[in-house]
Homo-oligomer: A and B are copies of this chain.
Amino acid sequence: MATLQDVAREAGVSSATVSRVLNGSPKVHARTRKRVEDAIERLGYRRSRVARRLRVRGGRSHILGLMIPDIQNPFFSDVARGVEDYAYTHEYAVILCSSDEDPKKQAFYLNTMQAESVDGIILPPIPGENRVIEELLEKDRLPVVCLDRRLPGSSPDTVVVDNRRGAFEAVERLIRLGHRRIGIIIGLPSLSTSRERLEGYMEALSKHRVAPDSALVREGDSKYRSGLRQTDALLDLPEPPTAFFVCNNLMTLGALEAIHLRGLHPPHDCSIIGFDDMPWAASLNPPLTTVRQPGYAIGRCAAELLLKRIADPARPASLVMLQPELVVRQSCGPAPAA
């Protein structure tokens, strides 16, 4: 690889001049500039960002770090795409990591990102691992934007969805269809999203004077298998629910499987509403009614907040709450007469 020195030699100028040309400094004679540009062309020179970053004070790496639980979860691939597209329009690239909610992986990746001197990091905080992120913010003064989940205690820039409202609307719809025994499967209870969705469920029940029953509340882990198991458990109840509200995409697939395995056919035999919409929700059996989270918009918004913070570290932190939307398809019907 040719270096800046090589270019200087080739063009017969000093390295300072080459650097000026590279940085578009106005005070270089047009003829000199041309000579340098020709030399760059001839040598196929490319400036080393690594060396540049070492030198330039406050030098931006133009790299963002994005750490999500799992890129194979369609919600998070929507988020990732949103981040990436916004970053691209601002000439940023992104380092992507899947943490699997594993503190060890998170630590490794966070370390790598910092060592690579990313300009900032976007992540949904892992419950119980706040310290790490707070250190990032306070000690390392690294811009961080939280997404999907809130960071209890501190309040960095955050973008979340109104989970309470999304859950409330879903459950209210089920109640209006006549359902009184509504099962809910939430994700890990340590997640703020799980708690908020449960709150929305409780509020809807309370508003419509439906008595809550703790047997109808099940905890999963956001994966397919837990959706299957918890639905099974619900169906095994002496008085099983007539409707299901399943709080994430993969668990909903599992729930559907469990329901089918019993020979049940929604929306006739029972009703189901999922959380997270997906391109194939309309092709499921039955076409699935879901609470749509704007994953792509969440990603874009987080990237925007991060770039703003990078540009102005002193700006006040903001909390953006995006609205979910109930997408009604065909998985809900009236409650069977009791």
- Asked if A78 lies at the interface with its beta carbon under 8 angstroms from chain B, I say yes
Q: How many residues of A contact B (CB 8 A)?
A: 58
With both beta carbons as reference points, the residue of chain B lying nearest to A135 in the complex is identified as B44
Give chain B nearest CB distance to A107 CB in angstroms: 12
Q: How many copies does the complex hold?
A: 2
- Asked if A338 lies at the interface with its beta carbon under 8 angstroms from chain B, I say no
- Asked if A275 lies at the interface with its beta carbon under 8 angstroms from chain B, I say no
In-complex Cβ contact of A108 among B49, B88, B96, B285 (8 A): B88
Whether B71 contacts A74 by the Cβ 8 Å rule is no
Q: Which positions 261-290 of chain A face chain B at CB distance < 8 Å?
A: 278-280, 282-287
The interface-forming segment of A111-119, A151-159, A207-215 is A111-119
Whether A253 contacts B224 by the Cβ 8 Å rule is no
Question: Of A1, A115, A256, which is in contact with the most chain B CB atoms at under 10 Å from its CB?
Answer: A115
Q: List 17 A-B contacts (CB under 8 A).
A: A1-B140, A48-B117, A50-B50, A50-B53, A50-B61, A71-B80, A71-B84, A72-B81, A80-B96, A91-B112, A93-B95, A93-B112, A96-B96, A116-B116, A260-B283, A283-B284, A285-B286
Binding site for B on A (CB under 8 A): 1, 44, 46-51, 53-54, 61-63, 70-72, 74, 77-78, 80-81, 84-85, 88, 91, 93-98, 105, 108-109, 111-117, 139-140, 224, 250, 253, 256-257, 260, 278-280, 282-287
